[in-house]
Amino acid sequence: MTRIPPPAASAAALAALLVASPAARAASPDALWNIVHGRCVPNQQLHNAPSPCTSVSLAGGEAHGYAILKDIKGASQFLLIPTDRITGIESPKILADDAPNYFAAAWAARSGTEAVFHHPLPREDISLAINSPLARSQNQLHIHIDCLQPAVVAALHAHAAAIGPSWAPLPVPLQGHPYRAKWLPESALAASNPFKLLAADVGAPAMKLQTLIVAGAVSPSGQPGFVLLADHADPTLNDHAGGEELQDHSCTVAYKQ
């Protein structure tokens, strides 16, 4: 196991970064929780209509369900939000033995993004992202489902040979930040929770500084799969660990199909 130590920064430096982060500026950091818990779930239970969410899955009970909500930002961005109260990537709940595989569910929900454009998108253009606590505006776990930036798609393609089954530094920065990458075959996503794969590498305590992205990909040999990308917050480098930065909420690639 490769354990990444927390950045060498004082508590004051971390606090200063938090003050400057979206989480500190949010007018209502519980907005997503209030929408899902207060409106989508009751509407689904009482009326079999998940509004204002597009869908609510309660098959395993509310504590292990999730909702899909169209985000107000961008034409094609959707959010997967647990119906259980889970703060974010730092929560021990996502590493529990019975934790749902939210990333597998989010990948299945990419159909919402594709439906916006009335045609399927290449898997390499779709991504799932969760930000670190220092780069998010909400205190309820949510996975961003949207297109990947064309420059990121090109970088992952160009360096595909360097992305293997173990976590390793990506040879080039993405959006100016150093990411680590790991290859995951398509068939492995259902049985391999990406949260647990990251925690096994960095250690559970370090998850509070992590961002995680699951990007659709095709290997050099033509096999479908995913590139897992992770970065950790470093106040000394002004890195908030916001993997959403790799997404394209205008989904420009869709207009080239």
pLDDT at 32 over 90: yes
- Helix or strand (DSSP H, E) at 198: helix 194-202
* Most distant CA pair in the chain, distance: 52
Q: Which residue has the tokens 């990909």?
A: 217
Average confidence (pLDDT) over 199-214: 98
Average confidence (pLDDT) over 243-255: 93
List of domains in the chain: 11-256 (3.30.428.30)
- Per the structure block, which two tokens stand in for 94? 């996502």
pLDDT at 19 over 60: no
Q: Which pLDDT belongs to residue 3?
A: 36
Cis peptide, bond prior to residue 52, ω within 30 of zero: yes
- Give yes or no for a contact between 214 and 196, defined as CB atoms under 8 angstroms apart: no
How far is it, in rounded angstroms, from Cα 104 to Cα 84? 17
Number of helices and strands (H, E) in the chain?
8, 10
List, in sequence order, every residue forming a beta bridge with 226; answer none if it has no partner.
184, 216
φ/ψ of 218, rounded to 5, equals -130, 130
- Give yes or no for a contact between 52 and 69, defined as CB atoms under 8 angstroms apart: yes
pLDDT at 17 over 50: no
pLDDT at 108 over 80: yes
Categorize the per-residue pLDDT at 197 as very low, low, confident or very high, splitting at 50, 70 and 90. Answer: very high
Least confident of 19-33, 71-85, 239-253: 19-33
- Which candidate, 79, 44, 82, places its Cα nearest to that of 63? 82
How far is it, in rounded angstroms, from Cα 120 to Cα 223? 18
What percentage of the chain has pLDDT greater than the value 90? Answer: 83
Residue 253's alpha-carbon distances to 34, 104, 207, 215, in angstroms, are 33, 23, 32, 15
Average confidence (pLDDT) over 48-59: 94
Q: Which pLDDT belongs to residue 4?
A: 38
How far is it, in rounded angstroms, from Cα 248 to Cα 185? 24
Q: Which pLDDT belongs to residue 62?
A: 65
How far from each other are the two terminal CA atoms of the chain, in whole angstroms? 42
pLDDT at 179 over 80: yes
Total residue count of the chain as it appears in this document: 257
The pTM of the full predicted model, rounded to 2 decimals, is 0.88
Q: Which residues contact residue 137 at a Cβ distance below 8 angstroms, ignoring those fewer than 6 apart?
A: 22, 23, 25, 26, 29
Residue 149: HSE in the Cβ half-sphere, 13 Å Cα cutoff: 12
Q: Which pLDDT belongs to residue 24?
A: 38
Residue 36's alpha-carbon distances to 25, 74, 131, in angstroms, are 21, 20, 19
Average confidence (pLDDT) over 24-43: 86
